[in-house]
Amino acid sequence: MTQRDPRLRVLPSPLLKQRMTSAQVMRDVIYALVPATLVGIGLFGLGALLVVLASLAGALFSEYLFSPPAERRARIEDGSAILTGLLLGLTLPPALPLWMAFLGSAVALGLGKLMWGGLGHNPFNPALVGRAFLLATFPTAMTTWSPQGGGLLTVHPANLALPFLRGDYDAVTAATPLGLMKFQHQGTGLWDLLLGNTAGSLGETSALLLLLGGVYLILRRDIDWRIPAGILLSVAVFAGVLWLINSARFPNPLFALGSGGLILGAFYMATDPVTSPLTPRGAWIFAAGIGLLVVLIRVFGGFPEGVMYAILLMNAATPLIDRVTQPRLFGTPRSPLFDRSKRP
Amino acid sequence: MSNLAHLFLRGFQHGVHPPEHKGRTASLPIQRMPFMDRYVLPLHQNLGAPPRPLVRVGDRVLRGQPIAEPTAFFSTTLHSPVTGWVRALGSRRVAGGGFEPAIEIEADPYATQRLDPQPRPDWRHMSLDQLVTEVQRAGIVGMGGAAFPAHVKYALPDGQHIRYLLINGAECEPYLTNDHRLMVERPQALLRGIEILHHLLGAEQSVIGVELNKADAIYELRRHIHADQPIRVQSLRVKYPQGAEKMLIKAVFDQEVPSGQLPRDLGILVNNVATVVAIADWFERGQPLIDRPLTVSGGGVASPANLLVPLGTPVREVLRMCGGLREDTVEVVMGGPMMGTPIPSLDAPVLKGTSGILAFTAQEAARPPEYPCIRCGRCLEACPYFLNPSKLARLARVRLFEEMKGARVAECVECGSCTYACPSGIPIVQLIRGAKADIRRRKGKSQ
Domain ranges of chain B: 2-27+118-285, 378-446
* Closest CB to B325 among A2, A17, A341: A2
In this predicted model, which residue has the larger pLDDT, A342 or B339?
B339
pLDDT above 90 (res B6): no
Residue B446 pLDDT class (50, 70, 90 cuts):
low
pLDDT of residue B4: 55
**What does the pLDDT average to over B186-207?**
95
Lowest mean pLDDT among A168-182, A212-226, B115-129, B209-223: A168-182
Query: For chain B, how far is it from start to end, CA to CA, in angstroms?
Result: 56
pLDDT of residue A167: 64
Question: Do the chains contact at A341 and B256, CB–CB below 8 Å?
Answer: yes
pLDDT of residue A169: 62
CA B13 to chain A, closest CA, distance in angstroms equals 10
Residue of A nearest to B379 (CA): A278
- φ/ψ of B362, rounded to 5, equals -60, -35
Instruction: Calculate the average pLDDT of chain A.
Output: 86
pLDDT of residue B41: 95
Residue A146 pLDDT class (50, 70, 90 cuts):
confident
C-alpha A142: how far from chain center:
17
Give the strand order in the sheet containing B30-32. B30-32, B305-310, B291-297, B356-361, B329-334, B341-342
Between CA B87 and CA B204 the distance in angstroms is: 49
pLDDT in tens, B336-387: 999 999 998 898 999 999 999 999 998 888 778 889 999 999 999 999 999 9
One domain for residues A55 and A145: yes
pLDDT above 80 (res A25): yes
* Closest CB to B377 among A15, A25, A279: A279
In a domain, A15, yes or no: no
Nearest to B20 by CA among B216, B214, B304: B214
SS3 B60: strand
Q: Which residues of A touch B315 (CB under 8 A)?
A: none
Between CA B218 and CA B206 the distance in angstroms is: 15
Instruction: Calculate the average pLDDT of chain B.
Output: 91
One domain for residues A28 and A160: yes
pLDDT in tens, B274-305: 999 999 999 999 999 999 999 999 999 999 99
Give the strand order in the sheet containing B84-93. B38-42, B99-107, B84-93, B60-61
Nearest to B138 by CA among B354, B289, B351, B274: B289
One domain for residues A166 and A249: no
pLDDT of residue B3: 53
Between CA B5 and CA B7 the distance in angstroms is: 5
Residue of B nearest to A20 (CA): B423
DSSP codes, A265-334: IIIIITT-GGGS-SSHHHHHHHHHHHHHHHHHHHHHSSSS--HHHHHHHHHHHHHHHHHHTPPPPTTS--
Peptide bond into A344 cis (omega under 30): no
pLDDT of residue A162: 73
**What does the pLDDT average to over B151-176?**
93
One domain for residues A236 and A149: no
Question: Do the chains contact at A344 and B164, CB–CB below 8 Å?
Answer: yes
Out of A174, A196, A218, pick the residue that ends a domain.
Answer: A174
In a domain, A180, yes or no: yes
* Closest CB to B325 among A1, A20, A78: A1
Percent of chain B residues past pLDDT 90, beyond the cut: 79
Crossing angle between the packed helical segments A98-112 and A80-90, to the nearest 10 degrees: 130
- B202 near B210, Cβ under 8 Å? no
CA B342 to chain A, closest CA, distance in angstroms equals 5
- A38 near B360, Cβ under 8 Å? no
In this predicted model, which residue has the larger pLDDT, A313 or A190?
A313
pLDDT of residue B447: 57
In eight-state DSSP terms, residue A170 is P
> pTM of the full predicted structure?
0.89
Sheet strands (E) in B311-409: 329-334, 341-342, 356-361
Residues with Cβ within 8 Å of A158's Cβ and at least 6 positions away in sequence, in order, are: A95, A96, A97, A141, A144, A166, A167, A168, A169, A170
Q: Where are the alpha helices (DSSP H) in chain A?
A: 22-44, 46-66, 72-77, 80-90, 98-112, 126-137, 139-142, 177-184, 190-195, 202-205, 207-219, 226-245, 253-258, 262-264, 280-300, 307-324
Domain B2-27+118-285 CATH class label: alpha beta
pLDDT above 80 (res A147): no
SS3 B79: strand
Residues with Cβ within 8 Å of B181's Cβ and at least 6 positions away in sequence, in order, are: B25, B26, B28, B29, B30, B293, B306
The strand pairing partners of B99, in sequence order, are B93
Residue A2 pLDDT class (50, 70, 90 cuts):
very low
One domain for residues A159 and A28: yes
Percent of chain A residues past pLDDT 70, beyond the cut: 92
**What does the pLDDT average to over A165-185?**
71
Pick the residue of B8, B375, B398, B431 with the most A CBs within 10 A to test the interface with A by mutation. Answer: B375
One domain for residues A192 and A140: no
The CB density around residue A248, as the number of other CB atoms within 10 Å, is 6
- B61 near B80, Cβ under 8 Å? yes
CA B107 to chain A, closest CA, distance in angstroms equals 24
One domain for residues A163 and A241: no
pLDDT above 50 (res A340): no
Lowest mean pLDDT among B22-26, B53-57, B112-116, B192-196: B112-116
pLDDT in tens, B126-145: 999 999 999 999 999 999 87
Q: Which residues of A touch B390 (CB under 8 A)?
A: 278
One domain for residues A302 and A200: yes
pLDDT above 80 (res B192): yes
C-alpha B103: how far from chain center:
23
Number of domains in chain A: 2
pLDDT above 90 (res B78): yes
**What does the pLDDT average to over A24-28?**
94
pLDDT of residue A335: 54
Pick the residue of A83, A124, A330 with the most B CBs within 10 A to test the interface with B by mutation. Answer: A330
Pick the residue of A15, A26, A224 with the most B CBs within 10 A to test the interface with B by mutation. Answer: A15
- What's the ipTM? 0.86
pLDDT above 70 (res B29): yes
How buried is B68 (Cβ within 10 angstroms: 0-12 exposed, 13-18 middle, 19+ buried)? buried
In this predicted model, which residue has the larger pLDDT, A216 or A74?
A216
pLDDT in tens, B317-336: 999 999 989 888 999 999 99
SS3 B292: strand
CA B418 to chain A, closest CA, distance in angstroms equals 10
pLDDT above 80 (res A4): no
Percent of chain B residues past pLDDT 70, beyond the cut: 97
SS3 B130: helix
Between CA A158 and CA A88 the distance in angstroms is: 19
In a domain, A284, yes or no: yes
Q: Which of A16-20, A322-326, B199-203 has the highest mean pLDDT?
A: B199-203
Pick the residue of B204, B205, B418, B424 with the most A CBs within 10 A to test the interface with A by mutation. Answer: B424
Query: For chain A, how far is it from start to end, CA to CA, in angstroms?
Result: 52
pLDDT of residue A344: 34
Question: Do the chains contact at B380 and A14, CB–CB below 8 Å?
Answer: no
CA dihedral A201, A203, A204, A205 (to 10 degrees): 90
**What does the pLDDT average to over B94-117?**
88
One domain for residues A125 and A145: yes
Residue of A nearest to B316 (CA): A5
Out of A129, A150, A174, pick the residue that ends a domain.
Answer: A174
What per-residue string of b and e applies to A256-295 under the rule 16 or more CB within 10 Å gives b? bbbbbbbbbbbbbbbbbbbbbbbbeebbbbbbbbbbbbbb
Residue A338 pLDDT class (50, 70, 90 cuts):
very low
In this structure, chain A runs to a length of 344
CA A121 to chain B, closest CA, distance in angstroms equals 8
pLDDT above 80 (res A161): no
In this predicted model, which residue has the larger pLDDT, A67 or A1?
A67
Residue of B nearest to A80 (CA): B374
* Closest CB to A17 among B323, B368, B408: B368
Question: Do the chains contact at B259 and A331, CB–CB below 8 Å?
Answer: yes
Q: Where are the alpha helices (DSSP H) in B36-170?
A: 128-137, 150-154
CA B64 to chain A, closest CA, distance in angstroms equals 32
- The range of the structural domain enclosing residue A141 comes to 24-174
Residue A148 pLDDT class (50, 70, 90 cuts):
confident
Question: Do the chains contact at B331 and A224, CB–CB below 8 Å?
Answer: no
In a domain, A73, yes or no: yes
pLDDT of residue A341: 44
pLDDT of residue A343: 36
Residue A88 pLDDT class (50, 70, 90 cuts):
very high
* Closest CB to A120 among B364, B372, B433: B372
Residues with Cβ within 8 Å of B151's Cβ and at least 6 positions away in sequence, in order, are: B76, B131, B132, B133, B134, B135, B136, B140
* Closest CB to A14 among B326, B373, B416: B416
CA B66 to chain A, closest CA, distance in angstroms equals 33
